[in-house]
Each structure stands twice: as C-alpha cells, then as structure tokens.
A and B are shown apart, each in its own frame.
Chain A
Amino acid sequence: MDFFIQLLVNGLSVGFLYGLSAMGFVMIFKSSSVLNFAHGELLALGAFVFLSLHSVVQLPIGWAFLATLTGCFVLGFLIERFFLRPLIGEPLIYVIMLTVGLAAMLRGLLLLIWGGNLRTLPDFLPAWMDIQSGWLRIPPVYMAAILVGVLFLVLFGLFFKYSAQGIFMRSVADNQRAALSLGVHVRRVFALSWGIAALVAGMSGIILGLMNGISVHDLSAVGLKVFPVVILGGLNSISGAVIGGLIIGVLEAFTGGYLSPSLRDVVPYIVLVVLLLVRPYGLFGLVEIERV
C-alpha cells in the first residue's frame, strides 16, 4: 500500500509538470491551430537562459526570473514574426514542418552554447514552500509547480473568458477567415499567443529544471510527451492539459512501478493511439464530428 501511495504521489507530481509544460502548447494551438514541435526546445531555452543569467551574469534570482520571462516572451514574438507569419494560410504540413525545423535549429543552438550535459539550477525556493504534515511531505519544487500551475490556470481561464484579446484568440482559432472579416487583428493575435506560450514554456522549463536538473535532450523529450497529454485532455482545453498531464504522469508511474521500467516511456503513446481511435477530441476538447 505504501508503494502504491508513493507511486501515486510521484505520478501526480510529475504529471502536474507535464500539464504545466502542455499549457503553452495548448495556448498556441488554441489561437492558431499550430502543433508546435519546438515546444521542448522552448522549455529548455527558458531553463538555460535562467541558469546563465543567474550564474554567469550574477543577477539576483528575482531579476533573473523576470528577465528570463521577458526574454522568452520577446523570443516567442520574434519566432512568430519571422517564421510563422509568412505561412498564414499555407497548408498544414508546411507549418508543422516549420516547427520541426525550428526545433532542430534551436536544439543545435542550445547544444552549441550550453553543451549536452546535465546541469543543476540553484535551489532558490523559500522555506515556507516545504510542507510537512504527518507522514506526507511535499517538497518545495512540487509546491512551486502546483502554485504556478494553479496561477496560470486561473489567469488563462479569466483571460480567455473575459478579456477582449482572449475572445479574439478563440475566434481566430475557430475560423480564421470569419475572424478577419469581423475586424480581428489576426496577426497580432498570433504574435501575442506565441509570446505568451513561450513565456509559459520558459516558466515551466525553469520548474522542470529545478526538479530534475536541465539537459537539452531530457527537456526536448518532455516536449514530445506533451502530445499524449494534450490529446488526452483535448487539444484546446487548458484545464484539460493539466488533467491529461496528471493522468499520463500517474499512468507512467504505475507502469514503471508494477510492469516494467522500460515500458514506462512508451505507454503514453500506446494510450495515445487507442485514444485517437476511440475519442480523438480528448476528454475536454471541442467535439467536432466529421465522418469522411
């Protein structure tokens, strides 16, 4: 029983991080229906920039954090401006392949600058985040992940529901041409969504790095694991991303614990195939039925 609970807790906390990483991904999909294969690299970029700002430039933690997030936002903006914008209206395969190419470029760049070794981030979380009640102890990293996750969840929920920009984003995702004809500034929507997504990715990258240390290869693998998570949760549901992340995390932990550790990494994809056959729009996604 102890083993079970331990696996459950591990799975939930890893799953929460998956969910957190998936948020930025869903953000881009929700506003522009682009699958971003470079998401893992954006995660890694945030973590590495933070590390360098802190350890090389010697900025204090708070400033380093703010600077990283601003940098990520600007980078997302630039990526959209120079790479994605010329492709508005082009067939899907070009957009997907562009993000694949972008992923290779960013990965090459990251490896060139920071190398492929595992690095550790400084532990800067305050002591009050370390929660201990009875036998259950939640380490500060998980606490931070939960706090950031809930914060983003609430912010995004409000943003998409009430703010004008959020409603524009949803309208663009739903029907680009109709949104254009009604006067929505589609290009600004895309730029903004990439900026926000990169910001969220950078943030999740830092938290992931706090937990496991950062290496380019690990983080880009997480970027691919986002796919089962978002399909499970529904491609355009941000809370679905978190729940999908939790389910995938728990599933991985149980498979690793009870069946075999090597099956652990492939089980999300098996679930993915089955799910795509049975319920392609996921648990909380928008149901679009088209039988052709």
Chain B
Amino acid sequence: MRKLRLHPCGNYKESYADELAIFSSDYGRLWSLAGIAALFCAVPFISPPYLLYVVNMIGIYAIAAIGLNILVGYTGMISLGHGAFFGVGAYAAAVMSATFNVPFLLSVPAAGLITAGVGMIFGIPSGRLKGLYLTIATLAGQFIIEYVLVHWEGVTRGTEGITVPAPTLFGISLRGDIRFFYVIFAVLALMIWMAVNLIRTRYGRAFIAIRDNDRAAEGMGIPIFSYKILSFGISSFYAGLAGALWAYYMVSVTSEPFNLSLSVEYIAMVIIGGLGSVAGSVYGAVFITVLNESLRWLTDLMMNFGFITQSGLNMAPLREFAFGLAIVLFILFEPRGLAELWRIIRSSFRLWPFSY
C-alpha cells in the first residue's frame, strides 16, 4: 500500500499530472468517500420525510446547477433560460413515459438528449453574440420555450398538465422518498464525476480558454462556435436530466414552475456557490433550497401570529425580498461564492498559526 499524502504547505507541483489531479492529497479522497458512504447509508434512514424531500430537491437542483456552471462558470456565457431547459427535460420525460410508455431507464437519458438538442438550437445565437446580447437572447429563449410548453397542447396538454405513471427500475417500483433518494443521488454522483473529469479534458480546457479570452482562444485554433454550442448542449443535458428526475419525483408536470424566476434561481445558485467550481454548484443548490424552505417556514410561522393576519399584511413577498437580498449581499461581499469561502476557511486551518 502506498503512503498517504498530506497537503503540502505550498505549491510544489512537479508535473502536469499533479496540476490536473482532482484531489491534491489522499486524505481528500478518503474524506470524500467517507462522505458519500455516510450520505448513502445514513441520511435516508435518519431523516424525517420532510427533510428527505428537501434533500432530494437539493440533489435534483444540484444536477441542473452543475450544468449551468459548465455554461456560465467555465465557458463564460450567461444564460437566463436554464429554468426553461429544465422544463423541457421534465416534459420530455413526462410525455415519453405517460404517452409512449418508455421505461424509466431509457426515458431519463433520452430526456437529457432532447433537452441538449433544444439547448443547442438556442445556443446558435452565441455564434454571433456574446456578453449582454447573448444574455438577452437566452432570456428570449426562456419566454419562447415557456410559450411552447403552455400552447403546444397536442403534446404537453396545456395548462392541464401531465400525470407521470410510477416508474420501475429493474423490476422495483420507484415510489417514496427513500427509493428516489438513491436514484437521484446516484445520478448526481455520476454527473459530478463526469463534470469534474470533463473540465480536465481538452474540451474543458477549451471552454476555459473561451471564457478567459475568446479572441486568443480563436487565435490558438479553438473553433469557438462549435465549442460554445457544445457547452450549451452539455449544460442543457444536465438540465434535462434533472428535469426528468423532477418530473418522476413530482408525479404531475405543469408549466408553471419553469418560469423566469426558476432561471434566476439557478443563476443565483451558481453565483452564490461559486462560478467555475463544480463543488460550488452543489453548495449553491444547498444554500438556495435551504433558504427557500426556511423562508417558507418563516412566512408560514408569521402568518399564524394573530396581529399580522389581522392587519392584512401578506408575508409571502418577504421571501422574494430575502432571496434578492441574499444574491445582492453575496455579489457585493463574496463574489466568488461559497466555494471560495470554504477554501479560505480550509486554508486558514491548514496554515495555522501563520494564516493570513
């Protein structure tokens, strides 16, 4: 057995392989494995049903947020249509399973692929546009997709929505939070693994080059249009996969949740978590979901106080306010997000007593 490596106290990398390593010490790898084991063995059994539901939602949102981070954080293209792509995935899975009886194992990746195709179509403007203009184009994409989801009644059944039949996986019926927990987090683990490794390949490096300086990237021979489209495709694939899981988990699919505020929530996850960090997307998903749920709990609590209900004050907008405030405060005080905060905390422990 080889010797376990500890964190060095400086940057002593000697080869490109060291530079590309995901875990800089073996303890990082061990801790991650321990964390995953604890997550899979303990969490579903000790948490009450409501908490497990929140955890499952975090898992689904985290998958989509990783996808958005590949687009925004690594390729540098701001998309305001991620919520709509999530919806496309949800509808694709719902239509496939309700109308065509496609099995779960096939319909989820297929929904991802369909969404990737839609995402690539809406990524075409990126060939000519960048920055602000591209953001506005994706905003338009959000509204157009939303319109199609509501009005293409032959397929999406309009405002009535689709009820998704109970899925089965290898002969086991998937109903109930615990079974879904395993499916969602297995997919999440796979997707994190894929994203982390994608960034290390030539594709990931090309994305980062485009983000840092698109002219230089083009000059170095990266065909940036096709890479931008690819980035849109991968990002939408993640969104579609998450949407498909969401559709199965939520049982009934209507078009209301996939509006602009969902897209804004995804952007907020990516920014609060940390742009250009896969772990950051997960932190962001945790933060936003927990914030949403605790604000809901808080407003429900306040509604029960007699004097507030009597004064006719509606507390629901308070959620929106606090949500906006969280985004604003993060951008003003820690624009690199939770991932950066975590890094600072860790390194100050590591460098103690000489931390700075």
Contacts and interface: CB of A to CB of B under 8 A. Distances in A.
Chains A and B come from one and the same complex: yes
Interface string B320-333: 11111111100110
Interface in A6-34: 33
B332 A280 contact: no
B36 interface: no
B151 interface: yes
B291 to A, nearest CB: 12
B133 A280 contact: yes
Interface string B83-125: 0000000000000000000000000000000000000000011
A272 B137 contact: yes
B196 interface: no
Contacts of A107: 317, 320-321, 324
Interface in B10-46: none
Interface stretch (A57-65, A108-116, A193-201, A202-210): A108-116
A227 interface: yes
A101 B288 CA distance: 13
A273 B137 contact: yes
Contact of A108 (B135, B260, B321): B321
A102 B319 CA distance: 13
A109 B72 contact: no
From A101, A105, A106, residue with most partner B Cβ within 10 Å? A101
Nearest to B260: A224
Contacts of B321: 104-105, 107-109, 112
Interface stretch (B138-146, B174-182, B239-247, B249-257): B138-146
Interface string A89-132: 01011101110111111111111100110000000000000000
A35 B264 CA distance: 15
A48 B322 CA distance: 21
B129 A93 contact: no
Contacts of B325: 101, 105
B57 interface: no
A229 to B, nearest CB: 11
B contact face: mostly helix, strand, loop, or mixed: helix
Contact of B139 (A105, A108, A227): A227
Contacts of B224: 292
The range of chain A's interface size is 35 or more
Contacts of A231: 133, 136
A287 interface: no
B331 A105 contact: no
> Which has the most chain A C-beta neighbours within 10 Å: B214, B313, B314, B328?
B328
Interface residues of B, number: 50
A283 to B, nearest CB: 15
Contact of B320 (A90, A108, A262): A108
A272 B128 CA distance: 14
Interface string B271-286: 1000100000000000
A5 interface: no
A273 B317 contact: no
Given A109-B321, A112-B317, A97 B140 contact: no
A83 B131 contact: no
Which of A92, A97, A280 counts the most B-chain CB atoms under 10 A from its CB? A97
B147 interface: yes
Given A107-B320, A108-B324, A109-B321, A87 B214 contact: no
A228 interface: yes
A100 B327 contact: yes
Given A87-B331, A277-B128, A269 B143 contact: yes
Q: Which of B125, B144, B260, B324 has the most A CB atoms < 10 Å from its CB?
A: B324
A270 interface: yes
A98 B333 CA distance: 12
A276 interface: yes
A35 B80 CA distance: 13
A92 B316 CA distance: 31
Contacts of A227: 136, 139-140
B319 A108 contact: yes
Contact of B151 (A98, A101, A262): A262
12 contacts: A90-B335, A94-B271, A98-B331, A101-B327, A101-B328, A105-B321, A108-B319, A111-B317, A272-B140, A273-B140, A276-B129, A276-B140
Given A35-B136, A108-B317, 20 more contacts: A87-B332, A97-B267, A97-B327, A97-B331, A100-B327, A101-B327, A104-B320, A105-B324, A109-B321, A110-B317, A111-B320, A116-B314, A231-B136, A269-B143, A272-B136, A273-B125, A273-B137, A273-B144, A276-B128, A277-B124
